[in-house]
A = this chain, B = another copy of it.
């Protein structure tokens, strides 16, 4: 698949940091940055933009905050041309905590929001656009959203200045048919805007669903190194770059950084396909109960875990 419009965003440090509270050393993040820049990836999402009014540096590493000082420690004078992105969650950042683009090394702010708070999301995205950034809206957990509510949110987005809207399969619950259905719906509702995809791997479908979204027209594609990300993780960048035939990409720096950093890290920090995550994905549930199960010293009884989430009591 070679479509020159396709842009790849690596969110390893941002999404992977959800596992270890962003406790990555500067050296680690710098190596990731350099490997991604060498591989031709378009954007690196280096963390969250969060307010220190709401979160402390005692509990969270630098990539929960992404101040200019944090960022400059990594970027330095590498001269890399890759763009930088940070994610902002509604209610976890105030607009005055985001500097003007001219005072920042960040190029893009991605606003993550639920469908019910899309108007807050659009407001924050507009504020970012006014400050000079590219801005996107990542509509989370849409596998749980009633179609009427989703249509209303897409209608609001269609009237906004936000240029890119992502399908986010937060629960790793979707099959290719749902991706196809949503991609068609988003494209029809959002003429002139770019479509993005952010997939989770609970059912080993993150890469496949990403391909499906690409076939259905998505041009803004999320992935992470070795699939690192909360719970079952994300679409692995190494698989995505192998699939995309764009000659601007070079996968070899990706193999190097996976071997140097991520294969060792996976023996210390847990992510990937495990039955508790598979069960929350299959049942279209938030992965939090799966993460709780995986964090226990002994894995709980899987049959009972499944039955407990089935929620199949009669309720007329």
- Listed in ascending order, the chain A residues whose CB lies under 8 Å from chain B are 175-177, 201, 203-209, 211-212, 215, 226, 236, 238-239, 242-243, 251-252, 255-256, 258-259, 263, 272-273, 275, 278-279, 282, 299, 301-303, 306-307
Task: Determine if A255 and B176 form an interchain contact, defined as CB atoms under 8 angstroms apart.
Answer: no
Option from B207, B278, B301, B302 in Cβ contact (under 8 Å) with A204: B207
Option from B239, B252, B255, B259 in Cβ contact (under 8 Å) with A203: B239
Q: What distance in Å separates the Cβ of A64 from its nearest Cβ neighbour in chain B? A: 29
Q: Which residues of B have CB within 8 Å of A203?
A: 207, 239, 242
Q: Which residues of B have CB within 8 Å of A306?
A: 251-252, 255
When A238-B275, A278-B238, A278-B239 are in contact, do A256 and B303 touch as well, CB less than 8 Å?
yes
When A176-B212, A204-B204 are in contact, do A259 and B275 touch as well, CB less than 8 Å?
yes
**Measured between alpha carbons, how far is A236 from B278 in the docked complex, in Å?**
11
Copies of this chain, tallied across the complex: 2
Given contacts A204-B207, A204-B208, A242-B278, 7 further A-B contacts (CB under 8 A): A175-B211, A176-B211, A176-B212, A204-B206, A204-B236, A238-B275, A255-B279
Option from B176, B272, B275, B279 in Cβ contact (under 8 Å) with A176: B176
Option from B207, B239, B242, B302 in Cβ contact (under 8 Å) with A258: B302
21 example contacts (A-B, Cβ-Cβ < 8 A) are as follows A176-B208, A176-B211, A176-B212, A177-B215, A201-B204, A204-B208, A204-B236, A204-B239, A205-B208, A208-B209, A238-B278, A242-B278, A242-B282, A251-B306, A252-B303, A255-B302, A255-B303, A258-B275, A259-B299, A259-B301, A272-B273
